[in-house]
Structure 1
Amino acid sequence: MSLDCSSAFVIVAGDVMLDRYWFGDSTRISPEAPVPVVHVRRTRDVAGGAANVAINAVNLGARTTLLSIVGDDQDGRSLRSLLESANVQCAFLHDAALQTTVKLRVISRNQQIVRADFEQRPDHELLLPLVARFHEKLESCKTVVFSDYGKGGLVHLGLMMEAGRAAGSTILIDPKGHDYSIYRGATVVTPNRDEFAQAAGKWTDESDFERRAFALRDSLELAALLVTRSEEGMSLFLEGRHIRIPAQAREVYDVSGAGDTVIATMAAAMGAGHNVESAARLANVAAGIVVGKVGTAPITLEELNQHV
């Protein structure tokens, strides 16, 4: 079941960020506080959030446009450069008053020591032009991903969802928060285990989990609900069916960006004509590959096709 996404055209909209990594060694404790001292030996910047979704989709062969907002700052320019070098078409708004979101992680011996976040929410009025750009892109694209990291970039999601449904688009959502009502009418929503619990409540056993999942799918009028469950694999809920997809047996180094890879693979596959079950199985394989990498790291088509 190899993947060919050359016919797929995907729109990604949502919260973008720059994932910054400082790598080094730690051999002593600071005399100033009981924390390790890390001698930083190298640094790396990679695209994160919705930007990582876009790069994953491009790497799988899909033509991809990314809609978001960044600051008029060096971090925003660095992020755009990373994306354009990966062949992502950037349809960005730039706000001089906004700081581009940066997540800084300090890594020692493949372990994250600390993470520092630099972020602020954009003004919702400044985001209105994204809705117009979204309408324009829908004329040539019918596969849409909304990557919601809760940073304010999707404040006008309702308007874009309405436009996507009217255009008959396949709409995939990586959700955030406990209220999923704004996602009603999407094609697929892909929460991880913790995100699902926030929306549907804690479950007591597998039967209760199924009951809550079917209820959430039905209440949101989804074609499918895909819950990623870490070592338990994935659970895909269609009308009256629960399809269990076992986890790929690989060593886990870092789950950063795994959800981005899942939804990007789903979008690229469905945009290329795969049904939702086939796309979910491909996404499961892709996730099993990226969690074996350190840091936010996108999948490649060659890697995926080697394992399917």
Structure 2
Amino acid sequence: MTSFPSEAVARIRVLVVGDLMLDRYWFGEVERISPEAPVPVVRVAKREDRLGGAANVARNIVSLGARATLVGVVGDDEAGRRIAALAQQEGIDARLIVDPQLPTTLKMRVMGRQQQLLRVDFEETPDGGCLDTLRGDVEALVAQHDMVVLSDYAKGALARVEGLVQAARTAGVPVLVDPKGHAYRRYVGATIITPNRAEMTDAVGRWNTEAELEERAQRLRGELSLEALLVTRSEQGMTLFTDEGRQHIDAQAHEVFDVSGAGDTVLAALAVTRAAGLPWFEAVKWANRAGGVVVGKLGTSVVTAGELT
């Protein structure tokens, strides 16, 4: 495995587009059960907000030493302003589209003794006007970047993803897509897509053997005109499919504490190392290592270049 290309990564600019969300954590102690219902009572001692979704991808890109521009939709509310403030603190160039009619996607987690007890989600889908603005912003920015990352959490920001992929192709900029759902024709022309095991099953059906997976993956890659397809498989590692065939890497042996946001970290590491000039499989090795580190942390977290080396 080559050394992490820190100097090359420092010159990289990545445009991250997708569903933005605020991850809000309430930490506390559980000392009794509620007399009102058989549920634990959490005495909140600490509150913490973190960037989530596509914003967490951008946060990881900056943490790894590259520069990130972030485009997405937020509401005219406290959570949206919090995302803007956190992005600025993290050194992310955030170009946020504010929709006064839309609540910012917010995931509020209640944690007791370092375990998640409850999650409450607030979310709605942005309207067509916001999506027109988003595409215009992407078209104006894409040529200034070395890589485009489309982070799809099925919250609506990438409802017209075909136009975003086309804008990047027109500018000659590679496109990495973290997909959602099963309608993968939307991603035709991307450079690589990175479905996890469940998402790949949604797209091609269940497979019984590795040979069957390879046949289906390569067929899907051809149908979508992809340069590469990476299936992230949790404890089974990652499998890359390219013109060279199938290449697999086992998962890093780490204690898994929390998988929240691990896919964002993998996507960020893959983007910066590939943009820095590493071959696909070398980039996948670094992404695998980054994912192995971040699952040992609580909540949506980041990995630094120092931790990888």
Same-fold call, TM cutoff 0.5: yes
Partner Cα separation in structure 2 for residue 194 and residue 30 of structure 1 = 37
Partner Cα separation in structure 2 for residue 30 and residue 195 of structure 1 = 39
Q: Which amino acid aligns with 1:183?
A: Y
> Could you report, residue by residue, the CA deviation over 1:134-185 in whole angstroms, capped at 9, with x for unpaired residues?
1111221131000000000112211111111111111000000111111111
- What's the offset of the Cα at 1:277? 1.2
1:17 aligns with one of 15, 18, 21: 21
Scaled by the length of structure 2, what TM-score is found? 0.96
8 A Cα contact 2:13 2:66, kept in partner: yes
Q: Which one is further off, 80-89 or 213-222?
A: 213-222
> Could you report, residue by residue, the CA deviation over 1:264-302 in whole angstroms, capped at 9, with x for unpaired residues?
111111221112111111000000000000110011121
Matches within 5 A, 1:20-169: 20-169=24-173
Q: Which amino acid aligns with 2:115?
A: Q
1:275 aligns with one of 279, 286, 290: 279
Q: Secondary structure at the match of 1:139?
A: helix
The residue that corresponds to 1:297 in the other structure is 301
The residue that corresponds to 1:255 in the other structure is 259
Q: Which amino acid aligns with 2:277?
A: G
The unaligned stretches of length 5 or more in structure 2 are none
The residue that corresponds to 1:172 in the other structure is 176
Partner Cα separation in structure 2 for residue 232 and residue 88 of structure 1 = 33
The residue that corresponds to 2:237 in the other structure is 233
8 A Cα contact 1:124 1:152, kept in partner: no
Q: Secondary structure at the match of 1:64?
A: strand
- What's the offset of the Cα at 1:260? 0.3
Q: Identity of paired residues, percent?
A: 49
8 A Cα contact 2:143 2:173, kept in partner: no
8 A Cα contact 2:126 2:157, kept in partner: yes
8 A Cα contact 1:142 1:168, kept in partner: no
The unaligned stretches of length 5 or more in structure 1 are none
> In the alignment, does 2:195 pair up with 1:195?
no
8 A Cα contact 2:12 2:66, kept in partner: yes
Q: Which amino acid aligns with 2:21?
A: M
Partner Cα separation in structure 1 for residue 116 and residue 215 of structure 2 = 37
- What's the offset of the Cα at 1:248? 0.5
* Number of residue pairs aligned between Structure 1 and Structure 2: 305
Q: Which one is further off, 34-43 or 90-99?
A: 34-43
Partner Cα separation in structure 1 for residue 130 and residue 245 of structure 2 = 42
Q: Which one is further off, 70-79 or 103-112?
A: 103-112
- What's the offset of the Cα at 1:34? 2.3
8 A Cα contact 2:28 2:46, kept in partner: yes
- What's the offset of the Cα at 1:242? 0.9
8 A Cα contact 1:24 1:40, kept in partner: yes
8 A Cα contact 1:21 1:104, kept in partner: yes
Partner Cα separation in structure 1 for residue 234 and residue 62 of structure 2 = 25
Q: Secondary structure at the match of 2:138?
A: helix
Scaled by the length of structure 1, what TM-score is found? 0.96
Q: Secondary structure at the match of 1:256?
A: coil
The residue that corresponds to 1:8 in the other structure is 12
Q: Which amino acid aligns with 2:146?
A: K
8 A Cα contact 1:233 1:247, kept in partner: yes
- What's the offset of the Cα at 1:32? 2.1
8 A Cα contact 2:4 2:305, kept in partner: no
Alignment root-mean-square deviation, CA: 1.2
Partner Cα separation in structure 1 for residue 207 and residue 48 of structure 2 = 40
Q: Secondary structure at the match of 1:99?
A: coil
Partner Cα separation in structure 1 for residue 97 and residue 70 of structure 2 = 11
The residue that corresponds to 2:248 in the other structure is 244
Which runs of 4 or more aligned residues in structure 1 lie more than 3 Å from their structure 2 counterparts after TM superposition?
A: none
1:213 aligns with one of 217, 235, 245: 217
